[in-house]
């Protein structure tokens, strides 16, 4: 049936403005210093050797030709070394696939594992793009409110029962992200075991999003879920250089998992992206091999920023990641955080509406505490404290 000038029905629910409900208001602000705490990025420049300008044709002839579909051998080798150092696990290099960031990685993973109509359990709230990645495959993201309850830590949360109740005959996978965007939760062993039991009971794939694996705020590095013997055979793992190495613009990530699935993922990757920028893959390899000190400084800076941000919102400090997910229902008197979002926006502080992270979260706001320099963050948090105090005192501030 002709479609012109229409576009794909499968992708009709996707929007390029996932973060910018208030974009016009923002454009209208004149002469106000803005603090973009809505985008998950960093103020830090990456390790020098990893930067775009550090890659040179003189040192790497054919720097601008295609890379192999699997990725640059130097990056694949560095990824294997990194995984070994972080987890003790020896990967077969053949089972590693370099991807266009974790976004491109999850997209090819969904393309390779899912068929239209399949369901994926999505513990909510969640990273806003994952819903669209699943939907763009024609699959159904099934929201399971869970992560905010784990973050609040008030009542015992039955992770197994929550997931189990959402399983249907069409469920194919569970998406798991820890440390978590947006709540900052690091899943503990009990939660991991519950996920593993549900996955085993219903023969599900487990999509492990490890983009924040190195950004934990406690003393010890958390054990990645996928390294559990009861999860590993069914885990497809996606990593990124964007977060721990400050290379979001490089668009480099890598995935690994069981050999047969990785062969299917590589096949899809061939047709979807073929590869990602070779100079940036080489920079990424340098970051993985030589970035430990840079990462340690970053982790310390982010930990302080997390604590300061939580204090300003009167919320518990996140355990990892780069976000705080603040429950502001008491402050705004209901499930719509718009009064707070607008009051902050008028004064230049931009946050993500919680609703972008799940249908049940209109009364929450997401704050990225790593996107601006600590000095600017302090100014933004001073504004937050004033606006929160005004709202508490009963007067709308804008």
Ligand X SMILES: Cc1ncc(COP(=O)(O)O)c(C=O)c1O
Q: Which residues bind ligand X (CB under 6 A)?
A: 40, 101-103, 127, 177, 181, 209, 211, 240, 242, 248, 253
Largest Cα–Cα separation, the chain: 65
Q: How far is the CB of 209 from ligand X (least distance, A)?
A: 5
Residue with tokens 């390029």: 16
CA atoms within 13 A on the CB side of 11: 8
Nearer to ligand X, 146 or 383 (CB): 146
**What is d(CA 89, CA 123) in angstroms, rounded to the nearest whole number?**
26
H-assigned helices in 123-243: 128-135, 147-152, 159-166, 189-202
Q: How far is the CB of 386 from ligand X (least distance, A)?
A: 29
Nearer to ligand X, 102 or 277 (CB): 102
Q: How far is the CB of 282 from ligand X (least distance, A)?
A: 17
Nearer to ligand X, 320 or 339 (CB): 320
- What residues form DSSP beta bridges with 337? none
Nearer to ligand X, 242 or 397 (CB): 242
Nearer to ligand X, 253 or 339 (CB): 253
Q: How far is the CB of 237 from ligand X (least distance, A)?
A: 12
Of 317, 313, 363, 305, give the one whose Cα is nearest residue 336.
363
**What is d(CA 96, CA 255) in angstroms, rounded to the nearest whole number?**
6
Of 355, 300, 308, give the one whose Cα is nearest residue 332.
355
Q: How far is the CB of 221 from ligand X (least distance, A)?
A: 18
Nearer to ligand X, 175 or 313 (CB): 175
Q: How far is the CB of 287 from ligand X (least distance, A)?
A: 13
**What is d(CA 239, CA 44) in angstroms, rounded to the nearest whole number?**
20
**What is d(CA 312, CA 318) in angstroms, rounded to the nearest whole number?**
13
Nearer to ligand X, 35 or 212 (CB): 212
> What are the residues whose beta carbons fall under 8 Å from the beta carbon of 192, sequence distance 6 or more?
225, 228, 231
Return the residue nearest ligand X (CB atom): 101
Q: How far is the CB of 142 from ligand X (least distance, A)?
A: 18
**What is d(CA 38, CA 356) in angstroms, rounded to the nearest whole number?**
11
């Amino acid at each position: 049936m002709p479609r012109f000038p229409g576009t794909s029905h499968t992708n009709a629910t996707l929007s390029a403005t996932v973060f910018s409900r208030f974009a016009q208001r923002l454009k209208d602000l004149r002469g106000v210093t803005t603090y973009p705490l809505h985008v998950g990025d960093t103020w830090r420049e990456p390790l020098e050797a990893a930067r775009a300008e550090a890659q040179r044709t003189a040192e790497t002839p054919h720097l601008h030709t295609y890379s192999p579909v699997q990725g640059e051998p130097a990056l694949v080798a560095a990824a294997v070394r990194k995984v070994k150092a972080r987890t003790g696990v020896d990967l077969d290099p053949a089972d590693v696939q370099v991807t266009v960031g974790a976004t491109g990685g999850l997209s090819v993973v969904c393309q390779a594992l899912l068929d239209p109509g399949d369901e994926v359990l999505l513990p909510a709230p969640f990273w806003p793009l994952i819903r669209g990645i699943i939907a763009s495959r024609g699959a159904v993201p099934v929201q399971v409110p869970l992560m905010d309850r784990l973050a609040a830590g008030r009542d015992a949360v039955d992770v197994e029962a929550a997931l189990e109740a959402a399983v249907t005959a069409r469920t194919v996978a569970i998406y798991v992200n820890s440390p978590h965007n947006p709540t900052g939760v690091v899943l503990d062993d009990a939660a991991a075991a519950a996920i593993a039991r549900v996955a085993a009971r219903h023969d599900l794939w487990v999509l492990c999003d490890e983009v924040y694996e190195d950004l934990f705020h406690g003393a010890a590095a958390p054990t990645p879920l996928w390294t559990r013997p009861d999860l590993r055979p069914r885990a497809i793992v996606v990593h990124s250089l964007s977060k721990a190495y400050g290379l979001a613009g490089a668009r480099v990530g890598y995935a690994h998992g069981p050999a047969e699935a990785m062969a299917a993922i590589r096949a899809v990757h061939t047709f979807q992206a073929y590869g990602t920028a070779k100079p940036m893959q080489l920079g990424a390899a340098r970051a993985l091999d030589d970035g430990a000190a840079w990462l340690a400084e970053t982790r310390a800076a982010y930990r302080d920023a997390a604590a300061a941000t939580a204090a300003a919102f009167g919320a518990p400090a996140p355990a990892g990641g780069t976000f705080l997910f603040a429950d502001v229902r008491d402050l705004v008197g209901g499930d719509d955080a718009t009064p707070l979002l607008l009051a902050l926006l008028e004064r230049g502080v931009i946050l993500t509406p919680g609703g972008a992270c799940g249908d049940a979260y209109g009364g929450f706001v997401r704050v990225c505490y790593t996107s601006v320099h600590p000095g600017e963050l302090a100014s933004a948090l001073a504004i937050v404290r004033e606006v929160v105090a005004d709202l508490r005192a009963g007067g709308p501030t804008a």
